[in-house]
Amino acid sequence: MLEKRKPIPVGEAVQRVMEYAFQEKKELVPLLQAHGRFLAEDVAADADVPAFDRSPYDGFAIRSVDSNDASSENPVTFKVVGEIGAGFVFEDTVGQLEAVRIMTGAPIPKGCDAVVMLELAHTFEENNEMYMSIKRTFEAGTNISYKGEDVQKGAILLEKGQYINPGAVALLATFGYDQVPVFRKPIIGVIATGSELLEPGESLQPGKIRNSNAYMMMAQIERAGATAKYFGKFSDDLNVCIDVVKNALEEVDLLITTGGVSVGDYDYLPAIYEAIEANVLFNKVAMRPGSVTTVAARGEKVLFGLSGNPSACFVGFELFVRPIIRTAFSNKQPHLRRESAVLGADFTKANPFTRFVRATVSYDNGQLVAVPSGFDKSSAVSSLVEANALIVLPGGSRGYEKGMQIDVLLLEDLQGSEWPWNNIVKSYK
Amino acid sequence: MLEKRKPIPVGEAVQRVMEYAFQEKKELVPLLQAHGRFLAEDVAADADVPAFDRSPYDGFAIRSVDSNDASSENPVTFKVVGEIGAGFVFEDTVGQLEAVRIMTGAPIPKGCDAVVMLELAHTFEENNEMYMSIKRTFEAGTNISYKGEDVQKGAILLEKGQYINPGAVALLATFGYDQVPVFRKPIIGVIATGSELLEPGESLQPGKIRNSNAYMMMAQIERAGATAKYFGKFSDDLNVCIDVVKNALEEVDLLITTGGVSVGDYDYLPAIYEAIEANVLFNKVAMRPGSVTTVAARGEKVLFGLSGNPSACFVGFELFVRPIIRTAFSNKQPHLRRESAVLGADFTKANPFTRFVRATVSYDNGQLVAVPSGFDKSSAVSSLVEANALIVLPGGSRGYEKGMQIDVLLLEDLQGSEWPWNNIVKSYK
């Protein structure tokens, strides 16, 4: 009477989902809106940086050879023959024992090969002429930023798929990208299931709870870089649900439902998948929480059936949905970043399935330590706030003790992993 | 002729700025827009979670006492007297050897004190009645999520100043916050200075460079949680600049200028500060890059005069502007997060001033390792992209070697530090 489901290992489940990964279209956005997006093209330098030899400091440009005899006992005096501000070009050639007052960023005048920092020059006026003297020698090249020493013309500066952080914005500005090619944000649909659900604005009623998963997930979607579209709650009428799913699929790139995937009689997501002729990729994963996670595909579009349990829903999103979003941005490390950490508390409960424990990672003298966040029954909502990582505990017959080396997946990281699932999770037999 | 400036230690400079810290006004935003903002009020639970004893699984609710004699050899059979979906309430009291089919999240019926998971029950029909049998005992409390076991009514769940991550969104939804009190985003004005500057959309010209600092900083402002307002580039006419600054101050909470703070003749920011009667808090800091960083205050508003050098500008923003933005959100850890790390490469250049080196931190088996990012002349722009931390090297007469324990300030972290400046940076004498 009840369907028997065969659990598959997490890595295999992620792999089946990733077969449906796609790349988003490009769009151009103004530079001021590019922060937080992902580059849709390689960015190459259109010019050297610096574009000319320039002074990194305020001071005096000189011919270094003229400073050869300078010392405390024997200061050398230069005649100041001009000055040059950043943005301007000094047209003459500088001669013997001549100096040009130069501002930070200004081009080095012809003839000069060193800059004396302002603080090291003694300036004075005599007969309406300006002079400056120095008490040490300056080697050729002192305080000169050479053309192309930072970036050479033609160099690939940023690769397609790069996350645009403030430093990347600076580079884009430097190379004239006032419009930036970025990947469009995929649109991820969200539908909640459950007769027990109230929206956050509704008053509590006996037996009912407020819908938190859909809102949590919309924030996760935003954090992953995509746009969320909320379709509200499923009706109790199966045919209505089928229409809602069909219509939603027209408007979104991926569709997520929360709840309705258990083996219970009231959970008719399997019936919906059948009705819309979606191909179920898996409906049981060897993991806790979230073993009932179900993923189906209809044509090129993936339907994620996440558990209605808040932790399972949270974990399911990060493991299965996030990487497909990041891959749409051509990002090469679309999965959660995996690192090694010291377990900061006992976790004695053994489990045949791989367990993902919400955790707070911190540093003990630079060493990553992971402590399970608060109360850990899988229905707990409050520990989700503190969690900035998931501890991965491979399934087995024993618990884990404080001080053991374990793997963590970092939630608030921008870097990600290329494929975190090798040698991390034992296969479930 | 030239002004002599006295450098002050970084910690003291930050402290002088923080005396002008302020708290922003509150505003209500819809829950769907709350992600990434900061809570302007404590959030307390308006009800227990769970709000009633409920089943965490699909299965059968029973009286545990009835299972006392069950075993493989002696299965005990229950009559299924009803079923209850999530969101509904079972009105009758369950009697001896009776069971109720119960869905995940549904309230436990009166009389029952345990739930048998569906997988452990054998169901069958006889004479149009439903039955189920079990082969083991279930203790009282098995598979029951008790009222209030996750969160108790009245408990403070989130404190004012909390960053709203997806977990916090879930909590807000659970407790009915369809409108969320958050701090308004302060408006930070940005003005670029320098005759050499072109906007990103302009073609390069001899001696000129494109303005990257203003755009970089607007991304940093956004990352810190505030709103940037760009006032373009300063005119070459001092009186026009004075008017621009005066007018900008009417529209913003803080004003940042980049460039124009060196001791050079062309840098007239000091003249502007004087003209608008701003009080200069400091104009030299014992740090590299950014020693010329100048901060002034006019009334309650702070004017940040950051260096025109890209690295100095970047560092100056993170050290001086970020904490005042985060404090506007009542955040208790407004400064960059400080951690200990292993230096991953030699840094042999000694400096009398404390040096902030852009760096990439990564993990070596869970141990934080910091490597200076790329080419490290202070004019380099490209290394800013990779940098996710600043290495802090206290000033002194020696360099630093690979393997030494050093301090880092993390740039892409959400947590921050309360005050990172104790015992980190030696005073400059």
CATH 3.40.980.10 fits A10-24+185-328, yes or no: yes
Task: Flag whether residue A393 sits within 8 Å of chain B, measured between CB atoms.
Answer: no
Fold of B59-134: Molybdopterin biosynthesis moeA protein; domain 3 (2.170.190)
Going by C-alpha positions, the residue among A174, A363, A228, A368 that lies closest to residue B212 is A174
Q: Are A100 and A82 in contact (CB under 8 A)?
A: yes
Pairs across A and B, CB distance < 8 A: 341
Q: What is the pLDDT of residue A380?
A: 55
Q: What is the pLDDT of residue B262?
A: 63
Q: What is the pLDDT of residue A428?
A: 39
The whole-angstrom separation of Cα A338 and Cα A421 is 9
Residues of A in contact with B263 (CB under 8 A): 58, 118-119
User: Which residue type is seen at A11?
Assistant: G
What is the value of ipTM here, to two decimals?
Answer: 0.89
The whole-angstrom separation of Cα B102 and Cα B80 is 10
Task: Flag whether residue A382 sits within 8 Å of chain B, measured between CB atoms.
Answer: yes
CB–CB contact A215 B172 (8 Å): yes
Nearest-by-Cβ selection for A88 from B162, B207, B379 = B207
Report the CATH superfamily, name and number, of domain B10-24+185-325: MoaB/Mog-like domain (3.40.980.10)
The whole-angstrom separation of Cα B63 and Cα B59 is 13
Going by C-alpha positions, the residue among B99, B100, B106, B90 that lies closest to residue B67 is B99
CA angle A294, B170, B44 (to 5 degrees): 155
- Residue A85, CA distances (Å) to A60, A81, A104, B197, B291 in order: 12, 14, 8, 12, 21
Nearest residue in chain B measured CA to CA from A406:
B366
Task: Flag whether residue A208 sits within 8 Å of chain B, measured between CB atoms.
Answer: yes
CB–CB contact B166 A223 (8 Å): yes
Q: Are A136 and A67 in contact (CB under 8 A)?
A: yes
- In whole numbers, what is the pLDDT of chain A averaged over residues? 91
Q: What dotted CATH number matches A337-410?
A: 2.40.340.10
Name the A residues in 358-377 with CB < 8 Å from any B CB: 363, 365-368, 375, 377
Task: Flag whether residue A192 sits within 8 Å of chain B, measured between CB atoms.
Answer: no
Token pair, residue B57, equals: 């699984």
Q: Are B191 and B231 in contact (CB under 8 A)?
A: yes
Where are the domains positioned within chain B?
10-24+185-325, 28-48+158-183, 59-134, 337-410
The whole-angstrom separation of Cα B214 and Cα B257 is 8
**pLDDT averaged over consecutive 10-residue blocks of chain B (429 residues)?**
76 97 98 98 91 93 97 97 90 96 92 96 95 97 92 90 96 95 98 90 91 96 98 88 96 93 68 95 94 95 93 96 98 96 90 91 95 62 82 88 95 92 59
Task: Flag whether residue B158 sits within 8 Å of chain A, measured between CB atoms.
Answer: yes
Residues of A in contact with B212 (CB under 8 A): 169-171, 173-174
Nearest residue in chain A measured CA to CA from B358:
A167
* Confidence check: pLDDT of A390 > 90: yes
Residue entry with tokens 């160099």: A155
* Confidence check: pLDDT of A369 > 80: yes
Task: Flag whether residue B264 sits within 8 Å of chain A, measured between CB atoms.
Answer: yes
The whole-angstrom separation of Cα A334 and Cα A329 is 9
- Residue A302, CA distances (Å) to A188, A219, A305, A316, A320 in order: 10, 20, 10, 14, 11
* Confidence check: pLDDT of A429 > 60: no
pLDDT tens digits, A100-149: 999 888 999 999 999 999 999 999 999 999 999 999 999 999 999 999 98
Q: How many residues does this entry show for chain B?
A: 429
User: Which residue type is seen at A63?
Assistant: R
Q: How big is chain A by its Cα radius of gyration, in Å?
A: 31
CB–CB contact A200 B208 (8 Å): no
Contacts of A424 (CB under 8 A, 6+ apart): A11, A338, A392, A394, A407
The mean per-residue pLDDT over the stretch A40-52 comes to 92
Contacts of B294 (CB under 8 A, 6+ apart): B261, B269, B270, B273, B280, B282, B283, B284, B305
CATH 3.40.50.720 fits B28-48+158-183, yes or no: no
pLDDT tens digits, A71-102: 999 999 999 999 998 888 999 999 999 999 99
Q: What is the pLDDT of residue B266?
A: 58
Interface residue of A132, A218, A220, A382 to substitute, partner B, most B CBs within 10 Å = A382
The whole-angstrom separation of Cα B203 and Cα B209 is 9
Task: Flag whether residue B263 sits within 8 Å of chain A, measured between CB atoms.
Answer: yes
Separation in Å, CA of A57 to nearest CA in chain B = 9
Confidence at A424, pLDDT banded by 50, 70, 90: low
* Confidence check: pLDDT of A158 > 50: yes
Q: What is the pLDDT of residue B380?
A: 55
CB–CB contact B377 A56 (8 Å): yes
Residue entry with tokens 């404590």: B42
Residues of A in contact with B149 (CB under 8 A): 375, 377
Residues of A in contact with B170 (CB under 8 A): 212-213, 215-216, 310, 314, 381, 384-385
Task: Flag whether residue B208 sits within 8 Å of chain A, measured between CB atoms.
Answer: yes
Instruction: Classify each residue of A391-401 as buried b or exposed e, where b means 16 or more C-beta atoms within 10 Å of its C-beta.
Output: bbbbbeeeebe
B89 burial via Cβ count (<10 Å: 0-12, 13-18, 19+): middle
Separation in Å, CA of B359 to nearest CA in chain A = 12
* Confidence check: pLDDT of A389 > 90: yes
CB–CB contact B31 A220 (8 Å): no
- Residue B14, CA distances (Å) to A332, A347, B26, B200, B323 in order: 39, 42, 26, 32, 9
